[in-house]
Amino acid sequence: MKLLEGKIALITGASRGIGRGIALKFAEQGANVAFTYLSSVEKGQELEKELQAFGVKAKGYRSDAADFKAAEELVNAVVTDFGTIDVCVNNAGITRDTLLMRMSEQQWDEVINANLKSVFNVTKAVQKPMLKQRKGSIINMSSVVGVKGNGGQSNYAASKAGIIGFTKSVALELGSRNIRCNAIAPGFIETEMTAALDEKVVEGWRNNIPLKRGGTVDDVANATIFLASDMSAYITGQVINVCGGMLT
Ligand code: NAP
């Protein structure tokens, strides 16, 4: 039996990296997948075909999660196309790293809007179909940086810490309606982006992780499958660190 058989999932920011990995794993587990992208139009179109090859329904939407109205329109479109939404993965995110001394108001606002306001926008819209069907699982992509902070990432860390407070509050508000809300805090996950970094620097990071390796997109996707599935039916308001023991 597939873990997400017949479930309808919405994943934001799935054209690359972790979101793309989650979309593929969800489809493999039998979920019908609606996903978004913003600038990577071709990659989004390719992913749609790859997901459909699993024999599930899949559709990509170009939508800015940071835009309140666009998020509402997105959720309405997904409900029209798929019928409802059982699982929502708020994954879309960006970085604009720099020291506080050099950080512009724009760099602060862009990160807070794309990472934190987006989670509010999409969750607020998605709670309607979930309330109607009296079930749902919302999974928000935070970061270990949101738990412990990181020099040069005060905007990013604040957005990811904000996600944790939001997640716990939504879990408390919607628990009585059988809607669960959890966060995942990935550590250092090796993606195409990190492949471009200096190998010596990356090796240093790996050595500081108890499991002695960077995480994979699949490591994060597997935790997301668990939180999306009925295997986690009694888990809400939690943060799962997927970080190889980095936060221990
Ligand atoms: P990534 O490779 O840069 O991919 C980010 C995705 O988000 C892309 O699909 C991008 O779409 C989309 N996106 C960005 N802004 C958007 C917006 N306003 N509306 C809709 N989609 C938007 O990043 P990643 O490494 O996979 O990270 C995914 C999530 O995990 C992020 O929230 C990140 O903060 C978190 N995370 C990552 C790591 C890590 O080590 N990689 C660690 C901890 C947490 P387009 O390409 O179309 O613009």
Residue 195 is predicted with a pLDDT of 82
CA distance 68 to 58: 24
Residue among 37, 61, 156, 234 flagged as catalytic: 156
Report pLDDT for 46: 98
CA of 12 to the centre of ligand 1 (A): 9
Measured between alpha carbons, how far is 92 from 168 in angstroms, rounded to an integer?
19
- Relative to the CA of 188, which ligand 1 atom is closest? 40
From the CB of 119, is ligand 1 less than 6 Å away? no
Does the beta carbon of 216 sit less than 6 angstroms from any atom of ligand 1? no
pLDDT of residue 1: 85
User: CB of 12 closer than 6 A to ligand 1?
Assistant: yes
What are the Cα distances from residue 217, in Å, to 20, 21, 23, 207, 247? Answer: 9, 6, 11, 19, 18
Per-residue confidence (pLDDT) for residue 156, from 0 to 100? 98
Q: How far is CA 155 from the centre of its chain?
A: 18
Task: Give 207-241 pLDDT, tens digit per residue.
Answer: 999 999 999 999 999 999 999 999 999 999 999 99
State the residue for tokens 């997901």.
51
Question: Is residue 243 in contact with ligand 1, taking CB distance under 6 Å?
Answer: no
Atom of ligand 1 lying closest to residue 93 CA? 32
Write the pLDDT tens digit of every residue in 187-202.
999 998 788 889 998 9
Q: What angle do CA 215, 219, 224 make, to 5 degrees?
A: 135
Domains contained in the chain, CATH given: 8-189+218-242 (3.40.50.720)
64 lines ligand 1 (CB under 6 A): yes
Q: Which of 25, 73, 91 to mutate to test the pocket of ligand 1 (most atoms within 8 A of CB)?
A: 91
pLDDT for the residue 84: 98
Q: Are 83 and 75 in contact (CB under 8 A)?
A: no
Active site residue 61: no
- Mean pLDDT across the chain: 97
Q: What is the predicted pLDDT for the residue at 196?
A: 82
Determine the Cα–Cα distance for residues 116 and 156; give it in Å rounded to an integer.
9
Mean pLDDT, residues 62-87: 98
**Model pLDDT, residue 215:** 98
Phi, psi of 32 (to 5 degrees): -85, 130
